[in-house]
Structure 1
Amino acid sequence: MLGGEEGIAVSGSAELRCFSAMASLLLRGIGTLVKSLAGLSCGQAPRCSSSSLPSGISSLQFSSTRCFSERPTVRDHPKRPLSAYIRYFMDQHVILHKQHPDLKRTEITRKIGQEWKALPDFVKEPYIVAANAERQKYKEEVKIYEDHLTPLEKKVQKAERQQKLAKRKSSRKRRELINMGKPKRARNAFNIFMSEHFQDASGMKAKEKFKSLFDDWGILESSRKQTYIQLAEDDKIRYENEMKSWEEQMIEIGREDLIRLKQRNKLKKLRPILKGPKVASKKKKTSVSRLKQSRKTAEPNEGRKARSRISRHEE
């Protein structure tokens, strides 16, 4: 008969062997399932028919495409070819950077652009020929690429293209507003607090600094918070005054599309009042209607005269 400690050791080893056997069986089952799923294609995935399902869930369908398929992605689109100017720019940029290492990138770009404009046609010709050849090759690659796209991939590509166009349009408009001198938006109290204490905030990355400043703002005394709230109110007044004068300038130069929607609607309501009542337009309408009526009455009279002339000729 085994002692207490020996009995416990034997029972523990038996449980361990049993657990290891169960784990190995489970791993074998998972491996078999993975192999069977790997052999199935999306088109060959079986669906449960209504006859094989119970009556309560006959409308449900199960497929491997729903369970295991990822988000549809579009294959890499052929890259656009470089233009003749970009080819010339890449050649000259290396040379100018070696000759003038102290020059800024913007100055080098401006200098190369001026040189390209002054170049004669026979110097530009090799770059233009190479660019045209690459463009023709690009068109052929795009045609092959689009022929191999599935309908789902075409939809995804169209959505991505629309997103890119919308992003490009918004960035272009933002750049235009900056160039036109649109005032900066008013800052709130937390933004003013963050701009003052950002350099001294704890953390190496900007995200860490922002988190620490947000925590500091939460525990800040109400009396100190009130100072930043008052600064935010003053900044709001500044923004409104600057926007009012800027929008007046935009209206004067005929760029009403850049002003705020609220001000644009106000301007539409004020225009009829500034122009006065539409009396002249009514007079024009009445004169036009009278002219039409006179033409209508004149046409039958001319017809009668013509008929009387024909009858007299026949007599």
Structure 2
Amino acid sequence: MAGQLLKTCRFVACRILPNNRNGFSNMQPLVRTLKSETKDLLNRLKIPEKPKRPLTPFVQFLKERQPAIVKENPTMKQSEIMKKIAKDWREVSDEQKEKYAQKFETESKSYNVAILNYNASLTSEQQEGLKSAATERKEDRKKRKLKKICKETNKPKKPSGPYILFLQEESKARNIPFNHMMSTVKGEWEKLPAAEKSRYREQYLAEKKKYEIALIEWEQEMVGKGHPELVRTTSVVDNPSRILSVRKDKKEPYK
């Protein structure tokens, strides 16, 4: 039960606790990842504002408690704020929780009527626009979830290409920030002798071979842990002998 409550807290925090920690000005789902074409379509369709869902008992309590906690603990992390609110919620009396529940029930009845009227007022084009936006948001959430898992499971990173290796080396040698190197050494790569370019390419190929081995092993591990969605569609993980052949080329024994 406690674990589920904390999971709910994290979900709510992503949508309610804004960068400005002193208020709750934005209760709508995040739309930052919508494609520009979809945003333009929604603006052109002039879709009316959708009725807001009523706040659940816990979110009502969270909304009341958060400003005071932030004021008393300005340096407290968002995750700690949510843990404290969850702890406080467990100590709220049943009588007080019932008041929150009654408010939620009353507002839910009004919301159900409002959302029916809202949906009935939309044109078919507006409905399609909202459906497209919902699909994009769903896909974006899926991508962000996979990206998070990849980071947590230490997915091997692709090696830098020859040109990037050149920039990194020059950045270090000249003591110039890497993000300034593109303009600083513009054109120098093209003038570089073939032998020098070959050195960077050989370095890249060596790192690429290590990357291939690490990625194959990581993908096999992910499949074993029940995350086949993280594996490339045409992944060589379906052909384990590929690991042996890569290691053989590298003259490295399989461990």
Aligned partner of 2:224 among 234, 252, 255: 252
The residue identity in structure 1 corresponding to 2:192 is S
Q: Which residue of 2 aligns with 1:23?
A: none
Q: State which structure, 1 or 2, has the greater radius of gyration over its C-alpha atoms.
A: 1
- CA shift digits 1:230-263 (9 cap, x unpaired): 5433432332222122123234334444322222
Report the Cα offset of residue 164 of structure 1: 1.6
- Mapped partners of 1:255, 1:195: distance in 2: 34
Distance 1:215 1:103, change over 3 A: same
The yes-or-no answer on 1:128 pairing with 2:97 is: no
- Mapped partners of 1:123, 1:152: distance in 2: 45
Distance 1:73 1:230, change over 3 A: farther
Identity %: 23
Q: Which residue of 2 aligns with 1:152?
A: 125
| Structure with more relative contact order (C-alpha pairs < 8 Å, separation 6 or more) | 2
- Mapped partners of 1:124, 1:195: distance in 2: 59
CA contact (8 A) 1:182 1:246 kept: yes
Matched ranges for 1:164-313 at <5 A:
164-192=137-165, 197=171, 200=176, 213=182, 216-220=185-189, 221-223=191-193, 228-261=200-233, 262-266=235-239
Distance 1:187 1:125, change over 3 A: farther
Q: How many residues were matched structurally?
A: 191
TM-score, L = length of structure 1 = 0.50
Unpaired segments of 5 or more residues in structure 1?
A: 1-69, 203-208, 268-315
Q: Which secondary structure does the structure 2 equivalent of 1:74 belong to? A: coil
- Mapped partners of 1:114, 1:125: distance in 2: 18
- Mapped partners of 1:191, 1:81: distance in 2: 51
- CA shift digits 1:178-230 (9 cap, x unpaired): 3333222333344456667499469xxxxxx57x7267344334256556545
The yes-or-no answer on 1:72 pairing with 2:28 is: no
CA contact (8 A) 1:256 1:264 kept: no
Report the Cα offset of residue 87 of structure 1: 2.1
Distance 1:246 1:151, change over 3 A: same
TM-score, L = length of structure 2 = 0.59
The Cα RMSD (Å) is: 3.4
Q: Which secondary structure does the structure 1 equivalent of 2:85 belong to? A: helix
